[in-house]
Amino acid sequence: MNLFGTLRAPRELLFGAGQRHALGTIASRLGRRSLIVTDRRLATDADFLALARQLQEAGLAVMVDSSTLPDVPVESAIASAEGARSFAPDLVIGVGGGSCLDMAKCVALLLAHGGRPQDYYGEQAVPGPVMPLIAIPTTAGTGSEVTPVAVLSDAERSLKVGISSPYLIPTVSICDPELTLSCPPTLTAIAGADALTHSIEAFTAIRRDPVSGIAQQRVFVGKNEMSDHFALSAISLLWQGLEAACKNGGDYAAREKVMLGATLAGLAFGVAGTAAAHAIQYPVGALTHTAHGLGVACLMPYVMTWNAPLIRNELAQIARAAGLDGPDAVIPALASLLERIGIPATLRDLGLEEERIDWVAEQSSGITRLIQNNPRPLNPSEIRNLVAAAYYGDTADLN
């Protein structure tokens, strides 16, 4: 076998209880004027205020920008960067969920290179390093603390859009599970289901011919030996911890597993990429205005059913990681787990209108970087059948 793998990660990644208390020391080695990007709710949180005090005690000047909105509207990232220029930060710190971290990435990009987010859409359009960036997640799901991606919402396109570049990977990430203890059950479920989808799609993505230079030409190269290692570990941890964390938010052992699983899933899909579930979710999310994690998790059993003939070996490995009785048990067990934590079973339950099935399929077909990452090819007609199956909850026509 021709072993091939690639890994992109923060320069330093800290994980564990109390690791947030190292922020002052870490930040003082990266800059003297820190812009903290967060949202309005977190800006008054006791843990957040303690982080800001750490920075001040370490001798850094601090500016707090609490303007982050869900899904990061493009205009908000532009306004945030403009508002920070007079402060002249030399370090950006993102604190919060995926939107806060993506906002911090965008601001670090715009402060370093100017322009607008639209100038950097797609892959490899960022011309060089962004401003030094520290990521401190307070939810366990997106993996943004370790990924080369920032996702924004663009009203002109009616869809979420992505900026993908290894330069967006944070310089340092501090993952402290104690910061997730106050995360409510619904958000815990949505974020954790997103992470589980990341790990499964990364593990079952297409395996490309590892020609020389593939990792320089592509941000997402497909499944490989390194991404598989992180994806399988993430699947095991999330399968063990997610339901327990949803049922009892104070279960610290479960919180640890979910946060570590989410971070490892980010390391996996940060090089392997995601696939059809994410492609379909973009237009579904635009129409239903529902959380990203709900959509991708709702779609995952249907996408896996379509892919099943080509991922038999991967399903067997997932079964072992999850403690299941063989490959045939994986998809039913996944659907059952998602149902138990409150993920809708169909796109109809998610709020999609039946007459929009064709539009969703058409838009999904155009997201070629994700469709082409799917292990089993999908033409426009097959995507339409997949969307319809997920809408009606009927997998009979998928295989």
pLDDT (tens digit, 9 = 90+) per residue, 132-165?
Answer: 999 999 999 999 999 999 999 888 877 788 999 9
For residue 329, what is the DSSP state? G
More confident residue, 111 or 157: 111
SS3 170: coil
Averaged pLDDT, 324-351: 98
pLDDT at 54: 97
Q: First CA to last CA across the chain, in angstroms?
A: 30
How distant, in Å, are the alpha carbons of 81, 132, 225, 292 from that of 91? 12, 5, 34, 29
Residue 60 has pLDDT above 60, yes or no: yes
pLDDT (tens digit, 9 = 90+) per residue, 214-226?
Answer: 999 999 999 999 9
Q: How confident is the model at residue 44 (pLDDT cuts 50, 70, 90)?
A: very high
Task: Find the DSSP H helices in 29-124.
Answer: 46-57, 74-84, 98-113
SS3 74: helix
pLDDT (tens digit, 9 = 90+) per residue, 180-206?
Answer: 999 999 999 999 999 999 999 999 999
pLDDT at 1: 57
pLDDT at 158: 73
Work out the percent of the chain whose per-residue pLDDT is above 70.
100
Average pLDDT across the chain, whole number? 96
SS3 33: strand
pLDDT (tens digit, 9 = 90+) per residue, 246-282?
Answer: 999 999 999 999 999 999 999 999 999 999 999 999 9
